[in-house]
């Protein structure tokens, strides 16, 4: 198909406090006594005031998701096996957390109905059957995972998402008040994922008016809250949540670029997390994104953020090769960033030099 026929999230509810409408939203989706399973970011595990707002009924269960590592295919398979053993069928999976928990929710929801291991479905359009009903509820803003058609997983041989028309959530609940407790450095790293999505989309060769409209708005919102405002308030949480949504919509119809391609290599080899990894790489990409990097550096300075340096120091040739292989494997990202001749522009030697600077 020449034009991408983009499958979107079915339902969106937005507004401060809208989380409390979740019970009503889930009611018609309950199938007999099959439970709703709530995946909750570990940050909330001892926050009783929050946990008591989860609309539990009957056999419903809260599963605390450990976010020390980004989602792995083995963990997805294990949680799926445990849920199947305990309940047989479930009515739905609700992911409450950041990109890690939302991706975990998408992946497990798909694996409840698809045979085998989630590693078998890392790639494009490999998922065979629709998953169970799934809901995404971000509690930190920036990744755009709430709107995307992928859930990024680290598997035995690669870090790659389950990209499919079955992957987007059936429902998302955008309640900016849930993000109030995010620690400022973490908030910045994840927010910059959104800012970088915008820069990569807006300067890419895949750009079109659809992506541009969302990307420009999302970038404008990021700049307003991180460069123009002097204190963080509820308005910032609201705007950042919508920036994340719009940034996700922007890349849905284009692609990300150099920062993501390079940071995937870091994540694969060193386990560097997505938000901070993108910041570490983007900080050194002035030759590719001069305006974006200049603004990024202003934001880092204004918010007094620590961007780690020297993380590839002392790595072996073999380790650099691993990162280069993972990175150059992301062909669409490079093509979007540098055009059809990207292989001549981004040679292994040039990429090695870039990795050495991180
Ligand atoms: P994350 O989900 O790992 O969360 C970051 C930290 O914030 C965690 O320590 C978490 O406990 C904490 N946190 C979350 N909500 C909080 C709250 N309300 N108060 C206090 N602390 C809170 O990080 P992330 O940056 O949101 O997501 C990164 C993940 O998203 C990666 O696995 C990446 O691959 C994935 N991702 C997916 C997509 C997609 O389209 N599916 C896009 C980009 C990134
Ligand atoms: Zn990203």
CB atoms within 10 A of CB 52: 8
The percentage of residues in the chain with a pLDDT greater than 70, rounded to a whole number, is 100
The percentage of residues in the chain with a pLDDT greater than 90, rounded to a whole number, is 96
What is the distance in A from the centroid of ligand 2 to the CA of 354?
Answer: 19
Is pLDDT at 146 greater than 80 in this prediction?
A: yes
Is pLDDT at 3 greater than 90 in this prediction?
A: no
Cα–Cα–Cα angle for 260, 197, 231, rounded to 5 degrees: 120
Percentage helix, strand, coil for the chain under 3-state DSSP, each rounded to 5: 50, 10, 40
CB atoms within 10 A of CB 97: 26
Tell me 35's DSSP state: P
Domain ranges of the chain: 11-179, 184-356
d(CA 304, CA 300): 6
Backbone angles phi, psi at 163, to 5 degrees: -90, 120
Name 161's bridge partners: 152
62: helix, coil or strand?
strand
Q: What tokens appear for 36 in the block?
A: 């709703």
Task: State if residue 145 touches ligand 1 by the CB under 6 angstroms criterion.
Answer: yes
d(CA 337, CA 233): 35
Is pLDDT at 1 greater than 80 in this prediction?
A: no
What is the distance in A from the centroid of ligand 2 to the CA of 336?
Answer: 15
Is pLDDT at 165 greater than 80 in this prediction?
A: yes
pLDDT one-digit tens code per residue, 14-53? 999 999 999 999 999 999 999 999 999 999 999 999 999 9
ipTM of the prediction: 0.99
Please state, rounded to an integer, the average pLDDT across all residues of the chain.
97
Hey, whose CA ends up nearest to atom 44 of ligand 1?
A: 143
pLDDT one-digit tens code per residue, 51-62? 999 999 999 999
CATH number of 184-356: 1.20.1090.10
From 3.40.470.10, 3.40.50.1970, 3.40.50.720, 3.30.70.270, which CATH number describes the 11-179 domain?
3.40.50.1970
> If you average pLDDT over residues 304-324, what whole number do you get?
97
Task: State if residue 139 touches ligand 1 by the CB under 6 angstroms criterion.
Answer: yes
Task: State if residue 67 touches ligand 1 by the CB under 6 angstroms criterion.
Answer: yes
What is the distance in A from the centroid of ligand 1 to the CA of 331?
Answer: 25
Ligand nearest to the CA of 193: 2
Quick one: pLDDT band at residue 158, thresholds 50, 70, 90?
Answer: confident
> If you average pLDDT over residues 222-239, what whole number do you get?
97
Task: State if residue 179 touches ligand 1 by the CB under 6 angstroms criterion.
Answer: yes
CB atoms within 10 A of CB 290: 11
Ligand 1 pocket: which of 8, 186, 333 to mutate (most atoms within 8 A of CB): 186
Task: State if residue 171 touches ligand 1 by the CB under 6 angstroms criterion.
Answer: no
Look-up of token digits 């494997």: 329
Same fold: 11-179 with 184-356: no
How many helices (H) and strands (E) the chain has is answered by: 14, 9
| Residue 196: its H or E element | helix 184-202
Task: State if residue 151 touches ligand 1 by the CB under 6 angstroms criterion.
Answer: yes
- The two most distant CA atoms of the chain are separated, in Å, by 60
pLDDT of 100: 98
State the first-to-last Cα distance of the chain, in angstroms, to the nearest integer: 39
Is pLDDT at 255 greater than 80 in this prediction?
A: yes
> If you average pLDDT over residues 115-125, what whole number do you get?
96
């Amino acid at each position: 198909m020449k034009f991408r026929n983009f499958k979107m999230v079915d339902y969106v509810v937005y507004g401060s406090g809208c989380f409390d409408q979740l019970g009503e939203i889930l009611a018609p989706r309950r199938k007999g006594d099959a439970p709703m399973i709530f995946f909750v970011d570990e940050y909330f595990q001892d926050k009783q005031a929050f946990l008591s707002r989860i609309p539990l009924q009957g056999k419903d269960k809260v599963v605390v998701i450990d976010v020390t590592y980004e989602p792995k295919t083995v963990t997805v398979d294990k949680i799926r096996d445990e849920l199947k053993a305990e309940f047989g069928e479930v009515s739905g999976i609700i992911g409450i957390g950041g990109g890690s928990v939302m991706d975990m929710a998408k992946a497990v929801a798909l694996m409840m109905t698809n045979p085998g291991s989630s590693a078998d479905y890392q790639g494009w359009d490999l998922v065979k059957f629709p998953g169970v009903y799934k809901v995404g509820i971000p509690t930190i803003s920036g990744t755009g995972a709430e709107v995307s058609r992928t859930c990024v997983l680290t598997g035995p041989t690669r870090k790659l998402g389950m990209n499919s028309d079955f992957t987007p959530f059936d429902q998302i609940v955008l309640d900016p008040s849930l993000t109030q407790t995010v620690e400022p450095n973490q908030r910045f790293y994840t927010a910059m994922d959104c800012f970088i999505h915008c820069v990569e989309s807006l300067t890419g060769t895949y750009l079109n008016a659809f992506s541009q409209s969302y990307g420009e708005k999302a970038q404008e919102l990021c700049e307003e809250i991180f460069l123009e405002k002097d204190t963080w308030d509820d308005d910032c949480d609201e705007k950042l949540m919508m920036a994340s949504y719009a940034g996700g919509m922007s890349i849905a119809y284009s692609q990300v670029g150099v920062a993501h391609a390079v940071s995937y290599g870091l994540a694969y080899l060193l386990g560097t997390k997505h938000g901070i990894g993108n910041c570490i790489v983007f900080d050194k990409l002035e030759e590719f994104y001069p305006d974006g990097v200049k603004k990024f550096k202003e934001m880092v300075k204004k918010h007094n953020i620590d961007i780690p340096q020297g993380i590839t120091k002392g790595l072996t040739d073999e380790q650099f090769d691993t990162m280069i292989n993972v990175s150059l494997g992301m062909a669409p990202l490079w093509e979007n960033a540098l055009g059809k001749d990207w292989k001549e522009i981004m040679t292994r030697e040039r990429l090695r030099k870039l990795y050495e600077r991180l």
